[in-house]
């Protein structure tokens, strides 16, 4: 007889870390919040930068509600492309990390049809240029930190 698990039971068994076959990862933090991430689709790994789709959720229940997940199969089939679609709707962020002598990060998120960015100093600003491709996030982050460090 097969034992049927609920999605919550499945995740409780898998956490504190879970990675589905498509590379979508979920981490349980010590405060019971969850961190969801995946590599940005179509971008090869580089020692110079990292581009990820990321979002933190207050709880497992909040994660399931926001993501609209009801079954284990939905979680197993979730792809980075799905997360990119959530980013387009303002439900995910994009994190661009630059590796070097000093590591820099910029987090991008959509809010009320505008694109916002937050730097490593927690300063938030509206992005006025059009960013529609992965390379644009990288270029913007490089230019931003070049401007503030010179």
Confidence of residue 150 (pLDDT cuts 50, 70, 90): low
Residues 50-105 have pLDDT tens digits of: 999 999 999 888 998 889 888 889 999 999 999 999 999 999 999 999 987 778 99
Pairwise pLDDT comparison (13 vs 53), residue with the higher score: 53
At residue 147, the pLDDT reads 84
Which structure tokens are listed for 112?
A: 């009320």
Pairwise pLDDT comparison (47 vs 37), residue with the higher score: 37
DSSP string, 92-143: -EEEEEE-SSS-EEEEEEEETTEEEEEETT--EEE--S---SHHHHHHHHHH
């Amino acid at each position: 007889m097969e034992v049927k698990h609920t999605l919550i039971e499945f995740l409780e068994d898998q956490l504190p870390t879970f990675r589905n076959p498509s590379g979508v990862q979920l981490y349980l933090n010590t405060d019971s919040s969850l961190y969801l991430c995946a590599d940005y689709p179509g971008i090869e790994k580089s020692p110079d930068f990292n581009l990820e789709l990321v979002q933190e959720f207050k709880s497992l229940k909040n994660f399931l509600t926001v993501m609209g997940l009801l079954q284990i199969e939905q979680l197993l089939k979730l792809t980075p492309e799905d997360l990119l679609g959530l980013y387009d709707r303002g439900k995910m962020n994009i994190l661009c990390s630059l590796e070097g002598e000093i590591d820099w990060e910029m987090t991008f998120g959509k809010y009320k049809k505008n694109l916002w960015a937050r730097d490593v100093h927690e300063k938030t600003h509206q992005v006025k240029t059009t960013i529609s491709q992965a390379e644009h996030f990288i270029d913007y982050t490089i230019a931003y930190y070049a401007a503030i460090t010179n």
